Chain A
Amino acid sequence: MSWISTSAAEQAEMLSVIGVTSMDDLFAAIPPELRSRSWDIPSGRSEMAVRDYLKSLAARNDSSRVSFLGGGFYDHFIPAAVDALAARSEFYTAYTPYQPECSQGTLQSIYEYQSAICRLTGLDFANASLYDGGTAVFEATTMAIRLTGRERVACHPSLNPLYRRMLETHLLNLKLEIVEGDNPEDSACVIVQNPDFRGTAADYTALGAQCHAAGALLIVSFYPISLGLLKTPGEMGADIAVAEGQSLGIPLNFGGPYLGVLATRRAHVRKMPGRLVAETSDAQGRRGFVLTLQAREQHIRREKAMSNICSNEALCALRALIYMTLLGREGLREVAQQCHSKAEYLKSQLPAASILNTGPTFNEFTVRLPRSAEDVVVRMAGRGYLAGLPLAALGVGGSNDLLIAVTEKRTRVQLDAFAQALEEECS
């Protein structure tokens, strides 16, 4: 099987133009002793057979249960127009817009995405995208280190524990100190997450002021949908805001591709990693868009670049832009309001004493069950639910603690039935 477009006759003609007699001659530079020692690859299969096989694998996964699983990744509704527009091959089969004249679709959409992120976060500049929320935390941290010249990083316990682990791994070979907490003294930055991993929403404005007084930066990792209601990183005085953008119209995808969001203040833009698009014009005065400040990037600056990032998640950024455009000013607020209200309703249907969050929560909260969260999850799966995330598995809670997320997709009927089922499975 192949997607080769050349006929046998054309192949012979091409070989003769090159001046060789066989396809093997083309590989004369690879000596026989360096040829593959093994090639144990199955024979090609038809499109129909491959689709059937992958369909059979997909069928062994469960994406049909009523989900209360969150933990940084959420089951939001995705309007049909997001899929329809992002499926245009003029978008998904294009390359990085290094030739701006034939990439204005890409470049304008990135400019509009950057604008949407700035409007969402209350910050001045957003880059064209990073890989995901976890690597965005890492990139923001190295950016803060470059900006401050300091080698200590304060990591607040609110941060997603997976991102904390990723940060430790990425910084493994650098002489840096990662400390737990929010003390900005001698630190490059304090990294916080809002709402925190266990669901509690807070205002980090005072911490931002403390950071600035101590010469440190405040990095806020946020949940994009929550900004339909919650105070923005900009309003809290954050220097860098980062996010996992999955909730903005990107499917759960078993972990990727997702979208790394990063925004910052004007003063810091030249130390920002990732691509950046700016508006300009051509000789005839027509508006156009180009990649700018490329001297920050690896293809120009090599080992002195702000980051090693090359490919990013532009197609996911496009999805996020289309999603935010479809929702608009009022729609984003409404989704956030629905998520929050439905989560509050579910809380009201559960025993008050079981809820561990002491402060307000947005759409996610932690309950302490009367028995092992893992046991309950298994029982609830049998009743058609993904009941939530047992926190012990990630090392951030007791064995009976369960993190429950509610999105706008859940109905009152589902919430009532879930509360009832949870009570029965716990008793």
Chain B
Amino acid sequence: MQLIYEKSRPGCRAITFDPLDVPTATMPPQLCRVSPASLPEVSELDVVRHFTNLSRRNFGVDSHFYPLGSCSMKYNPKLAEAVAAEPGFAGLHPHLSSDRAYLPQCQGALQLIYETERLLAEIGGMHQVSLQPIAGAHGELTGTLLIAAYHRARGHPKDTILIPDSAHGTNPASAAIAGFKVVEVPSNGDGTIHLNAFKGVLTASVAGVMLTCPNTHGLFEPDVRRICDLAHEVDALTYYDGANLNAIIGQCRPGDLGFDVMHFNLHKTFATPHGMGGPGAGPIGVGERLEPFLPGPRVVPRDDAYALEWPERSIGRIAAFFGNFMIAVRAYAYMLHLGAEGLKQVSEHAVLNANYVHARLKDVYLSAFPARFMHECVLSAAPQAKQGVRALDIAKALLDFGLHAPTVYFPLTVKESIMIEPTETESKATLDAFCDAMLQIAERVADDGQRLREAPTSTPVGRLDEVRAAKELNCAC
């Protein structure tokens, strides 16, 4: 497809404005750019047709099954989009929260923030929640900064964070960016944390432990409570990565498991759309110990109105305002609609669907671990790779079935890993179509390997030359 810049014709315009109704003012020339930015010169129809056609070169959840492990690509309800379009939310200026004179004009938004935080706190078993972190990784960074603040306040700054080898890459990256040294904890052969290895690295310099539970192998950590207790014995705090909360929502709560701080991925568990990579939102929850350090300001109900206050030992501002507010609006609508029972059904059907897919595929693809999977299952294409068809080829071949590929080569701990997370919203018919495709591909490995290695053939482009991309580095025109 042509680039929009290639469709540009000098003098063409889409949007015009009313003629200026005041005198034209002139900026001093030394402050002005030499020539206008060479943005495309096209008509509105050119723009609409271009982007409509671009959109058709995408797989989205509304059009395609998207079993991406670790991503919770569930259906994004239209209710959430409708409430987010309310002008009273979308048109609201954030500086209305910057001065008390304006607070009467954003009371509905402040109430929504307060109520969403309280609901998330109950879901996570946390004392308080802050909506301010803008993304999951930003929540991790905020959480590790809170852990650092806690130890500094106690007069014992500590420099190390323990993270299992199965963790998402954001965990070690966030801890490092917060200024911590990262020590990796190895997994057992059964895919869970090696408890003795954990004890071996749990020294007095450990500030915190970051865990994902179920972990990225899709397994519930059997020693999770013990790990939290051991960490607390050396005054290390425990961080729960909420990326996999979809597996346990309504079944158990990170706070009850012994975690001091966690983040929620609103774009995963609470069905706000992924938007091609964002925006998401990463609110954090904390237990009582970390509450005084929370970022500010906080929304608090006072008398007849919502007001803003700063926690006594706040780490400061982590966001300019209240994070990705409109993502919280969507998540709140989602939670209110599902309610107590509906939220439990989320995890029940997420786990049902993952185990159903696993049961149908485990005799053909290698099951990575013997235990019961939670919301996602990890298979290995090692048997197929021996015959020359790798996990990547299987992923690409699925695209020709009109199915998005699962996550491949993550977790890093499993060879030729294929990580499948169907989510709760998919029907049995869709899961069967996916499993049938996976089995059919496996049958073709022996005789039809070459064609699998050339897949996909039905997409707008075939496999792309990534080496050329990195070498030429043509990232703008």
Contacts and interface: CB of A to CB of B under 8 A. Distances in A.
Contact of B466 (A15, A29, A70, A280): A280
Interface stretch (B10-18, B284-292, B437-445): B10-18
A63 B25 CA distance: 29
Contacts of A147: none
A187 interface: no
Given A92-B275, A230-B32, A333-B36, A282 B93 contact: no
A283 B462 contact: yes
Interface in A7-62: 10-11, 13-15, 17-20, 23, 26-30, 33-47, 50-51, 53-62
Interface string B79-110: 10111001111111111111111100111110
B23 interface: yes
A14 B27 contact: no
A257 B327 CA distance: 7
B164 to A, nearest CB: 12
Contact of A62 (B32, B62, B106): B106
Interface residues of B, number: 208
B125 A94 contact: no
Interface string A102-138: 1111101111101111111010111011011111000
B56 interface: yes
B140 interface: yes
B179 A174 contact: yes
A61 B476 contact: no
Interface string A189-221: 000000000000111000000000000000000
Interface stretch (A177-185, A284-292, A350-358): A284-292
Nearest to A45: B336
Contacts of B466: 280, 290, 292
A232 B333 CA distance: 42
Interface in A269-293: 269, 275-284, 286-290, 292-293
A199 to B, nearest CB: 13
Interface residues on A, range: 35 or more
B15 A79 contact: yes
Given A173-B179, A230-B32, A277 B463 contact: no
A331 B15 contact: yes
A400 interface: no
B332 A256 contact: no
B283 interface: no
A252 B91 contact: yes
Nearest to B3: A112
Contacts of B242: none
Given A99-B399, A105-B56, A132-B320, A332 B36 contact: yes
A371 interface: no
Given A60-B88, A99-B404, A201 B475 contact: no
Interface stretch (B167-175, B195-203, B378-386): B167-175
B324 interface: yes
Given A303-B172, A309-B137, A311-B135, A227 B25 contact: no
Given A36-B253, A307-B173, 7 more contacts: A26-B348, A36-B125, A93-B76, A166-B318, A256-B327, A326-B15, A326-B47
